[in-house]
A and B are shown apart, each in its own frame.
Chain A
Amino acid sequence: MTCLPARTDKKLGLAIDLDTCVGCNACVTACKGWNDQGYGAPLSDQDPYGADPSGVFLNRVHSYQVQAPDLAAITVNLPRSCLHCEDAPCVTVCPTGASYKRVEDGIVLVNEDACIGCGLCAWACPYGARELDAAAGVMKKCTLCVDRIYNENLPEEDRQPACVRSCPTGARHFGDFADPDSTVSRLSAARGAVPLFPEMGTKPVNRYLPPRKKDALDASPLAPLLDIKTSGFAGWLDRLLEKF
């Protein structure tokens, strides 16, 4: 049934640090690489080397400019993927029960054998986190690497999502938001983490740590050059030229 669980034992998710993300796309390629080989249908590409390439990605990195009044503009890289919402609208709209939220850890998954590929869950998601695979005809989404995090065949340090494991700057953190002492909960509290699209009422689990406050420039470093006082021969020439 596509009813949402009243509560989940854990709330597994990601805390993504927008201050340290450099927008290198390592998480994007690691995600695509891992999800090409294990859980469910591989993420297909259409015309990958042709004129009009297209493909399924479960994680995409945007770059934004943020301009505050009287401050220098900053660039913020923002990786966008499933936020494993507590009130996931993608789950309740599913007509077949393929889309579900797990009671034990809160991960939102798709049972690909029951998915009819109607696309309504992708419409219901404000984050654009779900993409229909054109080759398999089923909906694909972030699984929080459910086939890694519990996988005892992997060394312990690899039992986290591929995007977290591959991040070279340590901008991505994986953990349980239901546990107030977890790394992700403490980071979120310390850094004033924000949810995305709170007005959509989805109660996302993933949190984004906003960029830290930057130093403000007093004035333009070029400002002194605008007011040069000349003296001597140059001063005489300056005055002479102004007369023309």
Chain B
Amino acid sequence: MHPAPSVILFTVLSGLGFGMLAALGVIVHPYGWTAFVLWGLGYGFAVAGLLASTFHLGHPERAWRALSQWRTSWLSREGIAAIATLVLLAPMALSDWLGLGFGRGLGLIGAILALATIATTSMIYAQLKTVPRWNHWTVPVQFFAFALTGGAMMTGQRGLALGLLAVLACALLAHWRFGDGRFAAVGATMGSATGLGHLGRVSVFDPAHTAGSYVMREMIFVVGRKHAARLRVLALGLACLLPAVILGLSGSVLACGVAVVVHLLGALAARWLFFAEAEHVVGLYYGQRQ
């Protein structure tokens, strides 16, 4: 799949934002200007991610229509869950900042909705049978692990963050371990794509077109896959190991800041791989696999 910058930014930033909002809703109770900065960052990341997701639309001015199909569409559910979270947590954020003393019940509901938003984001990808690597439980697990780890780190929960960094490392390794065998496990071949498999071995004789097409650009991405192994090491090191070492050495605000920046770079690398390594079954029509 084409790793579009808008979608990578959307999933990484909104994941971090909603992870932060979940943490601020139930675990962390800041007050005064600390609350202003933390809630502001949470809202900032969440909203920036959602805005980034509209950049790849053909008609962003119609984006409001995407809230209508919650009965079948995970993308629609995500939009609704995101907006509901942002609206419901606003009084909690104001209360923390201005010391209004509202009960934490609202924070708890908002945190549950933030988790639901992360779940719906991951299901946009995990629902696709056409991309076997994504159509697996490791995708929601990875999205949750990233969001909660980022949330814990951003809100300075050092102990929790260290534990979640370990969970995230396991989630990434599981996604790669299972993902590598998913295409073969699904059983899609050139034979099943063309319906000719029962007649013999199928290979491309002549391509359907020699110029590019939307389908090829969007769904048959092969550039950079040869660096996948090195990028995995880099992603794991930056997203999990290095932040864990930094947080293990020091709990200062500066150390937390550096750890978060390093973690985000790793998250971007991991998310780039998430798209670049995902193979769509339509590639079989073009002989991308046997």
- A residues neighboring B (CB under 8 Å): 1-3, 18, 23, 52-57, 60-69, 71, 73-76, 78, 80, 89, 91-98, 114-120, 122-128, 130-134, 136-139, 194-201, 208, 210-211
Contacts and interface: CB of A to CB of B under 8 A. Distances in A.
A200 B129 contact: yes
Contacts of A131: 213-215
Given A63-B208, A66-B202, A124-B128, 16 more contacts: A2-B71, A61-B208, A62-B204, A64-B204, A67-B201, A89-B128, A94-B69, A97-B68, A115-B59, A116-B63, A118-B75, A119-B56, A122-B218, A125-B130, A137-B57, A197-B193
Contact of B195 (A2, A130, A195): A195
Interface in B36-77: 56-60, 62-63, 65-69, 71-76
A116 B219 contact: no
B20 interface: no
Contact of A122 (B66, B200, B214): B214
A130 B68 CA distance: 22
A196 B211 contact: no
A136 to B, nearest CB: 7
Contacts of A139: 58
Contacts of A208: 195
Interface residues of B, number: 58
Contacts of B196: 18, 64, 66, 76, 78, 210-211
Given A61-B208, A93-B74, A195-B195, A118 B57 contact: yes
Contacts of B60: 116
A53 B76 contact: no
B66 A126 contact: no
Given A96-B65, A120-B124, A125-B130, A67 B195 contact: no
Interface stretch (B145-153, B225-233, B279-287): B279-287
A197 B282 CA distance: 10
B200 A53 contact: no
Contacts of B198: 194, 210
Interface string B176-193: 000000000011101011
Given A66-B199, A124-B130, A195-B195, A80 B211 contact: no
A196 B131 contact: no
A117 B59 contact: yes
Contacts of A125: 130, 282
Contacts of B186: 199
A136 B201 contact: no
